[in-house]
Amino acid sequence: MVDEHERPDAGGTPARDADPDTDGVPPAPEGPPGRQVPAWVDERRPRSVYGVGQEPDARFSLANERTALAWVRTGLSLVAGGIALTSFATFADLSAVLDVVAAIACVAGAGLSVWALVGWQRNEKALRLDRPLPSPRALPVLVVGVVAFGLGLGVYAVFSAW
Amino acid sequence: MVSAAGAGDDAPRAHPSRDVGLQPERTALAWQRTILSVTVGSLVCGATALRLDQPVIVVAAAAVAIAAMLPSVLRLPEGGLPSHGHLRSWRFLVRMVLLVSALGAVGTAAALVSMLQGDG
């Protein structure tokens, strides 16, 4: 499990001072005697997230970061799908309906990537406050959207084949 | 203990300051995947805009690609471990979301132009 090395210092507190001899790490150079020099002042943004609660296990924060990046990539693949559709439309001289679908996909992808920021904040806050993780609200929206996207394109394909 | 890894040492200890789950590495790879995807997406968008004869969209798509790649080219990866307590991913996350949103806007513009050209 996590030992002392992997646990980031709680924000702003000079944790080293409690046990300066940990692992033979020399204590940080002190300022004038009698004055506490914090090892590290937590200035991370956004303060609405980092200003509350306690520092969680860094691995959970990293997992949260990867989750947010996965959301960004999901939005990005929607954007890429829209761009690919436009690209095919220019090659094959397809109908303007597809261009409308492509534009909707691009906008939806951008919105989904913005949601990644919101979701990251919610999760990180829950981690810091040691609360249950919030439900992934964007997931049903994404599923419904992708299903509608696929069904719409399928119906379009069937009708254009006739 | 860090030993000379003898034959009987069946449980080689990882470096103490390294997460055995390789979480920082996995996170760095996730970042690289995302940056690469943005770059590829904007290049495809640029190619589409080239076919549409829209130099403005081409330049915008190329700008997104460059803006995605440039920081990772100019800045050496710090490889800072999370145990250092210096996770400052918010800025990069915001930047990435802005890039994807910009690409979405450029792609929308390309789709609209394609639609208008198809009508014309």
DSSP secondary structure, B42-94, as one string = HHHHHHHHHHTT-HHHHHHHHHHHHHHHHHHHHSPP----GGGT---HHHHHH
Kindly report, residue by residue over A8-42, the tens digit of the pLDDT. Answer: 444 444 444 444 444 444 444 444 555 555 666 77
Do residues A7 and A22 make contact, with C-beta atoms less than 8 angstroms apart?
Answer: no
Residue B96, domain member (yes or no): yes
Residue A70: other Cβ atoms inside 10 A: 14
Kindly report, residue by residue over A92-116, the tens digit of the pLDDT. Answer: 877 888 899 999 999 999 999 999 9
Quote the pLDDT of residue B29.
Answer: 84
pLDDT for residue B10 is more than 60? no
Quote the pLDDT of residue A38.
Answer: 60
Structural domain of A81: 47-161
Q: How far apart are CA A61 and CA A55, in angstroms?
A: 9
Kindly report, residue by residue over A41-76, the tens digit of the pLDDT. Answer: 777 788 898 889 998 888 888 899 999 999 999 999
Three-state SS sequence of chain A: CCCHHHCCCCCCCCHHHHCCCHHHCCCCCCCCCCCCCCCCCCCCCCHHHHCCCCCCCHHHHHHHHHHHHHHHHHHHHHHHHHHHHHHHHHHHCCCHHHHHHHHHHHHHHHHHHHHHHHHHHHHHHHHHCCCCCCCCCHHHHHHHHHHHHHHHHHHHHHHHHC
Task: Specify the DSSP class assigned to residue B21.
Answer: T
Kindly state whether A4 is in contact with chain B, defined as any CB-CB distance less than 8 angstroms.
no
Q: Which of residues 55-74 of B touch A (CB under 8 A)?
A: none
Instruction: Pick the more confident residue, B111 or A37.
Output: B111
Best to test chain B binding among A47, A79, A85 (most B CBs inside 10 Å): A79
Task: Specify the DSSP class assigned to residue B11.
Answer: S
**ipTM tops the 0.90 cut:** no
How large is the average pLDDT for residues B103-109?
Answer: 96
Task: Specify the DSSP class assigned to residue B2.
Answer: -
Select the residue of A44, A82, A93 nearest B88 (Cβ to Cβ).
A44
Kindly report, residue by residue over A126-161, the tens digit of the pLDDT. Answer: 999 999 999 988 999 999 999 998 998 899 889 988
Residue A118, domain member (yes or no): yes
Residue A34, domain member (yes or no): no
Residue B2, domain member (yes or no): no
Instruction: Pick the more confident residue, B83 or B112.
Output: B112
Task: Specify the DSSP class assigned to residue B14.
Answer: P
Residue B115, domain member (yes or no): yes
Is the CB of B93 less than 8 angstroms away from the CB of A61? no
Give the chain A residue nearest B21 (alpha carbons): A59
Among A22-31, B14-23, B33-42, B69-78, the least confident range: A22-31
Element housing B113 (H / E): helix B89-119
Residue B79, domain member (yes or no): no
Residue B15, domain member (yes or no): no
Residue A20, domain member (yes or no): no
Quote the pLDDT of residue A103.
Answer: 94
Residue B97, domain member (yes or no): yes
Task: Specify the DSSP class assigned to residue B41.
Answer: H
Residue B45, domain member (yes or no): yes
Instruction: Pick the more confident residue, A74 or B13.
Output: A74
Quote the pLDDT of residue B38.
Answer: 94
Q: Which of residues 78-107 of A touch B (CB under 8 A)?
A: 79-80, 82-87, 89-91, 93-96, 99-100, 102-103, 106-107
How large is the average pLDDT for residues B51-61?
Answer: 95
Quote the pLDDT of residue B79.
Answer: 52
Residue B84, domain member (yes or no): no
**Whose CA is closest to A70, among A113, A31, A105?**
A113
Whether the link from the prior residue into A134 is cis, omega within 30° of 0, is: no
Structural domain of B28: 23-73+89-119
Quote the pLDDT of residue B16.
Answer: 54
Number of separate domains in chain B: 1
Q: How far apart are CA A101 and CA A31, in angstroms?
A: 63
Residue A29, domain member (yes or no): no
pLDDT for residue B105 is more than 70? yes
Residue A87, domain member (yes or no): yes
Q: How confident is the model at residue A162 (pLDDT cuts 50, 70, 90)?
A: confident
Quote the pLDDT of residue B14.
Answer: 46
Q: How confident is the model at residue B76 (pLDDT cuts 50, 70, 90)?
A: low
